[in-house]
Structure 1
Amino acid sequence: MATAMAATAAERAVLEEEFRWLLHDEVHAVLRQLQDILKEASLRFTLPGSGSEGPTKQENFILSSYQVKGVLTLQGDALSQADVNLKVPRNSQLLHFAFREDKQWKLQQIQDARNHVSQAIYLLTSRDESYQFRTGAEVLKLMDAVMLQLTRARNRLTTPAALTLPEIAMSGLTRMFAPALPSDLLVNVYINLNKLCLTVYQLHTLQPSSTKNFRPAGGAVLHSPGAMFEWGPQRLEVSHVHKVECVIPWLNDALVFFTVSLQLCQQLKDKISVFSSYWSYKPF
């Protein structure tokens, strides 16, 4: 019995020493690695110009389908220019519309994702190299806070807002073009994963004599033909939907950085949690 107790005490001493090493050394090594990765992610969002304080670089993205062709210019988290040609299916008429020169359209998804990355970096840098973690619970709390920010950043890019058609009509994007968009067109722009998406909705008015059962459409990322809504005194229906998209390479990089960082956080949490299984009480 005494030998067994001595062995148990020796094992406990070894485990406690390993746990102290984990808290004092490995945790800070992981925090440094996370900071490096997230700083790279942050650089993807800022896209600086030639000087450190210079203007944000402009990037042109070509979107093309049979009916829609255009160029969208992205400057950081804002669309600074848009030039779109739409071939109307019913009469092959070619419509052209572009942003007014004094207008930019903020892509809130990119701005929010960048802010969440900045908050994650702030959390990581709030514990410098001299800081001594005293308990595993303290590390778990920090990892949970960082993972929350990273998950929110990723979700802002992977989960576009579900908007009703009246919300799209009221968004202000339709008032940014010159010449003004025809009353039978709606436009929406959003981020989905690593892609910049442009959707053009063609509408037609439902006449009072229409025998269609009017059912207003709810919120959706992409509405389908046949979706109906009320706008002022009119009842409208979507007749055609044109969606074009293109990949933004640096958003793809950012999503990879988020995934790797979340994996590192989870691995550290798992290592901390493993030690709790060796004791009937929590040593942290």
Structure 2
Amino acid sequence: MATAMAATAAERAVLEEEFRWLLHDEVHAVLRQLQDILKEASLRFTLPCSGAGTEGPAKQENFILGSCSTDQVKGVLTLQGDALSQAIQDARNHVSQAIYLLANRDESYQFRTGAEVLKLMDAVMLQLTRARNRLTTPATLTLPEIAASGLTRMFAPALPSDLLVNVYINLNKLCLTVYQLHALQPNSTKNFRPAGGAVLHSPGAMFEWGSQRLEVSHVHKVECVIPWLNDALVFFTVSLQLCQQLKDKISVFSSYWSYRPF
């Protein structure tokens, strides 16, 4: 019995030493790695635009858009400045918040408990998940919301009045959807039912805009891969994996004690 108790005490001492090393050394090594990765991710969201203190026109980005459907719709979209920035700005804000959380625990900070590390990892993972979701989950919009967004008016030369355009980010792709519209006559026998919100509306969708009732007659969608968005998504995935691995290591130690040492 005495030998067994001594062995248990020795094992426990080793585990406690390993746990202290994890808190004092490995945690900070992971935090440094996360900061390096997320700083690289943040650089991917730097928007080329002109403003106070800068010279020259805004940098232009050209995107060759194509469709894999039978109609083979293709086009070139030139973005200048921050015409398409909301999703990117939101994602960058979440990345910046994650970096702030990590930087708040510099090398001199001593983690006292595993629970403290778990709480930090959960907070960082929440920001990274929100950043990733902002790119992977396009907003659902009604047709009147798309019409009011002003996206159609940003084109030069101006688009015909019977076209409605939506531009959005989906995963690592820039997507452009063109809705061709026709007006419903006042004496139309069609049952008018306004369409709700959707990422992509189908032909036959109806909506009211101003004094007119309109119907979507044709839909064309084109897209292209943006390499730096693909990089950002990879950085998010790697960072989330590192956070989860650290959480798993912390949690393993709880199984060696009947009480929680953290």
TM-score by length of 2: 0.89
The offset of 1:67, in angstroms, is: 6.6
The secondary structure found in structure 2 opposite 1:16 is helix
The secondary structure found in structure 1 opposite 2:256 is coil
The secondary structure found in structure 2 opposite 1:65 is coil
The offset of 1:13, in angstroms, is: 0.9
| 1:132-154 Cα deviation digits (max 9, x unpaired) | 11100110111011101110110
Q: Is the 8 A contact 2:47 2:82 kept in 1?
A: no
The offset of 1:234, in angstroms, is: 1.9
Structure 1 residues 129 and 57, CA gap change in structure 2 (3 angstroms): farther
Structure 1 residues 39 and 74, CA gap change in structure 2 (3 angstroms): farther
With 64-73 and 248-257 compared, the bigger mean Cα shift is at 64-73
Taking the aligned partners of 1:123 and 1:255, their CA distance within structure 2 comes to: 20
Structure 1 residues 133 and 283, CA gap change in structure 2 (3 angstroms): same
Match of 1:40 in 2: 40
Q: Is the 8 A contact 2:164 2:180 kept in 1?
A: yes
Q: Is the 8 A contact 1:45 1:76 kept in 2?
A: no
| 1:153-195 Cα deviation digits (max 9, x unpaired) | 1001000100000100111122323454333211110000000
Taking the aligned partners of 1:132 and 1:138, their CA distance within structure 2 comes to: 10
Structure 1 residues 226 and 118, CA gap change in structure 2 (3 angstroms): same
Q: Is the 8 A contact 1:67 1:242 kept in 2?
A: no
Match of 1:77 in 2: 82
The offset of 1:56, in angstroms, is: 6.9
Structure with more contact order per residue of length (Cα contacts < 8 Å, sep ≥ 6): 2
| 1:58-77 Cα deviation digits (max 9, x unpaired) | 32111299574432234575
The alignment of Structure 1 onto Structure 2 pairs a total of residues equal to: 257
The offset of 1:80, in angstroms, is: 10
Q: Is the 8 A contact 2:44 2:229 kept in 1?
A: yes
Q: Which runs of 5+ in 2 are unaligned?
A: none
Displacement over 6 Å in runs of 4+: 47-56
Taking the aligned partners of 1:52 and 1:264, their CA distance within structure 2 comes to: 38
Taking the aligned partners of 1:244 and 1:117, their CA distance within structure 2 comes to: 29
Structure 1 residues 34 and 122, CA gap change in structure 2 (3 angstroms): same
Taking the aligned partners of 2:52 and 2:40, their CA distance within structure 1 comes to: 17
The offset of 1:45, in angstroms, is: 1.5
The offset of 1:51, in angstroms, is: 13
| 1:64-118 Cα deviation digits (max 9, x unpaired) | 9957443223457545999xxxxxxxxxxxxxxxxxxxxxxxxxxx111111111
Q: Which runs of 5+ in 1 are unaligned?
A: 83-109
Q: Is the 8 A contact 1:62 1:246 kept in 2?
A: yes
Structure 1 residues 18 and 55, CA gap change in structure 2 (3 angstroms): farther
Match of 1:230 in 2: 208
The offset of 1:213, in angstroms, is: 2.1
2:233 to 244, 252, 255: 255
Structure 1 residues 8 and 56, CA gap change in structure 2 (3 angstroms): farther
The offset of 1:272, in angstroms, is: 0.4
Structure 1 residues 258 and 52, CA gap change in structure 2 (3 angstroms): farther
Match of 1:67 in 2: 72
More strand by share: 1
Q: Is the 8 A contact 2:128 2:236 kept in 1?
A: yes
Taking the aligned partners of 2:61 and 2:53, their CA distance within structure 1 comes to: 17
Q: Is the 8 A contact 1:58 1:76 kept in 2?
A: yes
Q: Is the 8 A contact 1:162 1:219 kept in 2?
A: yes
Taking the aligned partners of 2:34 and 2:82, their CA distance within structure 1 comes to: 24
The secondary structure found in structure 2 opposite 1:198 is strand
| 1:23-59 Cα deviation digits (max 9, x unpaired) | 0010011011111111111111126799999987532
The offset of 1:127, in angstroms, is: 0.9
